[in-house]
Structure 1
Amino acid sequence: MSARILVVDDVPANVKLLEARLSAEYFDVMTASNGTEALAICARAECDIILLDVMMPDIDGFEVCRRLKSDPATHHIPVVMVTALDSPADRNRGLEAGADDFLTKPVSDVVLIARVRSLTRLKMMTDELRMRAITSLEIGMQAPERSAVADTGKGGRILLVDDRQSSYERLAGLLAAEHTVDVEPNPTEALFHAAEGNYDLLIVSLDLNNFDGLRLCSQARSLERTRHVPILAIADPENSTRLLRGLEIGVNDYLLRPIDKTELLARARTQIRRRRYTDHLRDNVQNSIEMAITDALTGLHNRRYMESHLATLAEQASTRGKPLALMILDIDYFKSINDNYGHDAGDDVLREFAVRVRKSIRGIDLACRYGGEEFVIVMPETDLHVAGMVAERLRRSIAGEPFAVHKGTKRIEVTISIGLTTLEQKGEAVADVLKRADTALYRAKHDGRNRVVSQAA
C-alpha cells in the first residue's frame, strides 16, 4: 500500500524521524517546514495524507487544518495532528478544526503506522469514488464538495453497541445532544439492527461481556448493507493493542475511556460528515450511469442503451430459439405540434407519450426514445401476432384520449404510426431488423398514418 505522506513540521529533527519511520514502511514522504508551504503542496494535490505539527512560526496547525477542511478542493485529504500538546482542550481544538486524528508525541511507531495505513485505505477509496464522479460534473450534476464543506456532521443516526448499562446510558446521553441514538445492548442482535437501521455511524464497545467486539466490527465490514458505515470503537486503555487490530480490519476511529464529551462529539461529527460525503459521491456515480443510458425528457432508455441491449436480447432469442418482436413508433405530425403550440407543448406530449407506453408494455419489454419523436419497443419472447395486438392497443391508447399541454390548459389530439417486425432468422443482424421495422413504419405513414403495419422477415 503506497501513499504520499506530507510531513509538516518546523523542527528538522522531527521531520527526519517521521520520514525515517514512514519510509521504512514503503510510504513516499514529502516534507514542508511551515503552513504556507503545506497549503501550496495540498493545493497541487500532491499528497494523500498530512501529518501536521501544531506549533509553527507562520500559520499554526489548527489554522492550516481549518483552511484545508474548508476548501472543497482539499477537504477530503486526511489530516493527523502530531504534536507535543497533550491537553484535552488542545485535542478537541484539533478535532474541531477538522483533523481526522490527534496524536501526542512521542508517538509509538505501531500506533502511527496503523493510523496511517487505515487513513490510506480510506483515502484510496474516496479517490476512486471522486474519479468516477468526475463525469457527473460534465453532464451537469452538482458536485458534493461544497455541501460536504458546509456539513456540520450533526443530526446523524447512530447505533451504540454496548452491554454495560452505566456506559451506554452515559454515552447515549452525551450523543443525544446532536444526534438520534439507538442503543443495542445485545451484541448478537447488533449486526441485524445495524443492517436494517440505515445508520450514519456505529459505535462499538470492545469490552463486551462474552462477545468479541472486533468480530462484530469485522462482520459489519463484510456485510453489504453495513460495509460503508463508519465504525467508532471504544475501549479501556489496556485494550490499545486490540484497537490497533481494529484499525487493520476496518474500524475508522477509536476512543479510550474515560470518554471526554467534547472529543466524543467531535469524532462522531467527523465520521458522519465523511459518511455523507462518500454517500453523495456514490449517488453521483450511480446517477451519472443512469443519465448516460436514460433520455432526460421521457425517462425512457436512450438510443445508446437500446443499441447495446438489443444486440444482447437478439443473441438470447437466437440461442433459445424464441421469437423477438420490435416496433418503431413515430408521433404523427409532431412538427406541427411544435409549430402551432410551441416546443414546451411538444415536450409535454413526449412525456405523456412515455407514460402511456410504459402502461401498455410488460416489465421485460424494452422501451427507448430512438430520437426526436421516434421510439423503439423491443418485446422478448413475442411473436408477430401478439406484438401486433400490443401495438394496436398502444395506438388506441394514444389516439383515444387527448394530450394535456401547457399545464393542462389545452388538450390536443395525437396519433402515432407503428412499424412492426420480428427477429425470426437465427443470427440475423440487428441492423436488418431495425431497417425492416423502419420500412414498415414508412408504409404506415404512406398509407395515412394512425395505423400499425407489420412486415415479416
Structure 2
Amino acid sequence: MPGKILIVDDIPTNRILLRVRLMAAFYDVLQAATGAEAMEVITQQAPDLVLLSAGLRDCDSLELCRRITGFCESPDQSGARAAPSFLPDTAPAPPPVLLLSAQADHGLRLSALAAGAEDLLAFPRDDLLLQGRLRSLMRVGDSLQESHLRSGTSRALGFAEAPQEFVTPPRICILTDPTLHNPAWRHSLQAAPQGAVSQHDSRSFLRDVTADNAPDLCLLVLDRSLSSPGLRLLSELRAHPETRHAAVIVILPEPDNHMAADALDLGAGDVVAGLFDPAELDLRIASQIRRKRMADQLRSTLRDGMRAAVTDPLTGLYNRRYALPHLMRMAEHATRNGRRFAVMLADLDHFKRINDLYGHAAGDAVLVEVAQRLRANLRAVDLIARIGGEEFLIALPDTNKTEARVAARRLCRMISQDPIDVPGQDLAVTMTVSIGVAMGHRPQPQLSDPLPLIIERLLDRADRALYGAKACGRNQVTISNTAA
C-alpha cells in the first residue's frame, strides 16, 4: 500500500465516494464519522494523512484540524510543531490534513491554512488535483516521521533540546519568464513574501545560482503557453545541487488542474492557482519554510550522527569503525594499481603513569595534543585513527619502506621534542611513542585470500613490530620484515 489515509466526514455518501477513489489508487483507507471517532482512529492506527470535511456537525472542523496537526500560531524558530496533547510521546508525527468543502471559498481557505491544513480543496468532482496533492504529501511524510522519531528518541534518552540558533530570514527567489506581464499576480508576489526577496529570469537562474545565493524557497510562475519549459525548469531545480533542497511553490495565474498535478508530481511543495492575495501566500510560504527547515535539520542530524559514529569524541580522529573499512579500500586500491602502502601502529610509552600521577584530565590533554601533532605531520591522503586508549593506527598510501621509515621516525621526533602542558597544573610532561610498521605488498597472483584476512595479517605484523619497538627500549621504530 502506498499509504494510509483517514476520511473524516459525517455524510456516508461522501465517505463511500472518496473510499472508492482512494482504494482505486491502492491507498489503505480508514473512516470516521465524528471528531471523537477521528481522534480515536488517529491514536490507534496512525494514518499518514487525514482528509477532513470542513462541515462536520458534531464539532468545529477547523478546531479539529488544529488538534490533529498540533498547530500553534507562534511556532518556534525551528518551525517544529508540538505533538497534539491527545497523542502519547511514542506516537508518530501528527499527520498532515487536507480540508474538503463543497465550496472552497477564499475566506475558508485562509482559515484552513491558518489552522495548519495543507490546503482546502473543493470536494473532488475530478480527483486529478486531489491525487496529485496526496502523492506530494506522502513523499514528504517519511522525512517528517523520521524527524519526529529522532526528536522523541533524544527526549527518551534525557537529552535536552539544543538551543535554537538565530534563524535568518529566508531567501526567496521569484522566477518568471520576462515575456509574462500580469500586474495582478506580480504585485501579490512582491507584497507577500517575508524575507530576502529577489526576482530572476527563469531561463538563466540555474546558470547563475551558487551556494552563497542559493534560495530557501522558489516561487515559480508558470503559464499555459510556457508549460513545457516551466515544468522542465521545475525538474532542473530538483536536480541542481544548489536548489534540490529548496522549497518550491508554483504560481499558476489561471486555474489548471492538469498543470497543477504535474507540478506536484515533479516536486513542487505547493501550488497556487488563480486569484490569491498576499495573506494566503504568506501562510503557504510559512508552511513551506517550516517544512524545509525541518528537512534541513534532519539532514544535519544525519550528518552529525554519521560523523559521531566514525569519530573519536576526545581527539577528533577517526575511530576503529571507520579505520578498518578505509584500510581495506586502501589495500584494494593498492592491489589494483600495483602500489605499496604502509601501516603503522603507534603506542604512547608509559602513558599509564600520566593518569596515575596527574589524573585522567591530564591524560586526556596529552592524548589530544599527541593527536594534533600526528595529524599535523601527515599528508591529507594519509589515514590516522585512534583505535585504543593510547594506540593509534596510521596508514600511508603509495609509500615504500624507506619513505615509511622516514615518516615514522619523524613522528617519533615530533612527539618527543616538545613537552606537553598539563592544563590546570603548572607542569609539562615529555612523551615518547613507539611505532611498529608493516608494509602492504601487492599479493601474489596465485593467492586468493579474502581482503579482510589480508588486513588482519597486516595489522598483526604491525602489532608484533610495535612490541619489538617496545622491547628495544621504546621511542623506537621497528619495521616488520615478514613477507606479505
- 1:106-139: CA deviations, max 9, x gaps? 5532222222122222324655x55996998599
From 120, 138, 149, give the equivalent of 1:102. 120
From 81, 99, 108, give the equivalent of 1:81. 99
Contact 1:43–1:74, Cα closer than 8 Å, also in 2: no
Alpha carbons of structure 1 residues 424 and 187: separation in structure 2 relative to 1, 3 Å: closer
Counterpart position of 1:191: 206
Counterpart position of 2:461: 436
Alpha carbons of structure 1 residues 349 and 40: separation in structure 2 relative to 1, 3 Å: farther
Q: Which amino acid aligns with 2:25?
A: E
Counterpart position of 1:450: 475
**For residues 421 and 466 of structure 2, what CA distance do their matches in structure 1 show?**
26
Counterpart position of 2:10: 10
More helix by share: 1
Show the 5 A alignment for 1:298-337. Answer: 298-337=315-354
**Structure 1 position 68 matched with structure 2 position 59:** no
Alpha carbons of structure 1 residues 409 and 280: separation in structure 2 relative to 1, 3 Å: farther
SS in 1 for 2:121: strand
**For residues 418 and 470 of structure 2, what CA distance do their matches in structure 1 show?**
21
**For residues 353 and 230 of structure 2, what CA distance do their matches in structure 1 show?**
70
- 1:219-244: CA deviations, max 9, x gaps? 21233332232210111234343222
**Structure 1 position 182 matched with structure 2 position 207:** no
Contact 2:62–2:111, Cα closer than 8 Å, also in 1: yes
Show the 5 A alignment for 1:109-148. Answer: 109-124=127-142, 126-127=144-145
Counterpart position of 2:88: none
Q: Which amino acid aligns with 1:202?
A: C
**Offset at residue 408 of structure 1 (A):** 8.3
- 1:414-436: CA deviations, max 9, x gaps? 22111112123616722222122
From 379, 382, 387, give the equivalent of 1:362. 379
Alpha carbons of structure 1 residues 387 and 44: separation in structure 2 relative to 1, 3 Å: farther
Q: Which amino acid aligns with 1:98?
A: G
From 241, 262, 273, give the equivalent of 2:290. 273
Counterpart position of 2:174: 160
SS in 1 for 2:198: strand
SS in 1 for 2:245: coil
Counterpart position of 1:288: 305
- 1:162-213: CA deviations, max 9, x gaps? 244845752454234x2221111x1211223455433221101113986832
**For residues 220 and 266 of structure 1, what CA distance do their matches in structure 2 show?**
23
**For residues 155 and 406 of structure 2, what CA distance do their matches in structure 1 show?**
43
**For residues 45 and 213 of structure 1, what CA distance do their matches in structure 2 show?**
40
Alpha carbons of structure 1 residues 135 and 7: separation in structure 2 relative to 1, 3 Å: closer
- 1:318-351: CA deviations, max 9, x gaps? 3332211111111122212122222222222222
Counterpart position of 2:23: 23
**Offset at residue 155 of structure 1 (A):** 2.6
**For residues 43 and 174 of structure 1, what CA distance do their matches in structure 2 show?**
41
**For residues 456 and 388 of structure 1, what CA distance do their matches in structure 2 show?**
13
SS in 2 for 1:325: strand
**For residues 409 and 300 of structure 2, what CA distance do their matches in structure 1 show?**
40
Contact 1:54–1:81, Cα closer than 8 Å, also in 2: yes
Alpha carbons of structure 1 residues 409 and 17: separation in structure 2 relative to 1, 3 Å: farther
Alpha carbons of structure 1 residues 218 and 113: separation in structure 2 relative to 1, 3 Å: same
Q: Which amino acid aligns with 1:301?
A: Y
SS in 1 for 2:99: strand
Identity of matched residues, %: 35
Alpha carbons of structure 1 residues 331 and 99: separation in structure 2 relative to 1, 3 Å: same
TM-score by length of 1: 0.88
**Structure 1 position 338 matched with structure 2 position 355:** yes
Contact 1:419–1:444, Cα closer than 8 Å, also in 2: yes
**Structure 1 position 205 matched with structure 2 position 212:** no
**Offset at residue 85 of structure 1 (A):** 5.9
Contact 1:337–1:346, Cα closer than 8 Å, also in 2: yes
**For residues 138 and 444 of structure 1, what CA distance do their matches in structure 2 show?**
49
SS in 1 for 2:47: coil
Contact 1:132–1:285, Cα closer than 8 Å, also in 2: no
Alpha carbons of structure 1 residues 258 and 137: separation in structure 2 relative to 1, 3 Å: same
**For residues 143 and 283 of structure 1, what CA distance do their matches in structure 2 show?**
17
- 1:228-283: CA deviations, max 9, x gaps? 32210111234343222212222221112322111101101111111111122122
SS in 1 for 2:30: strand
SS in 2 for 1:36: helix
TM-score by length of 2: 0.83
**For residues 375 and 271 of structure 2, what CA distance do their matches in structure 1 show?**
51
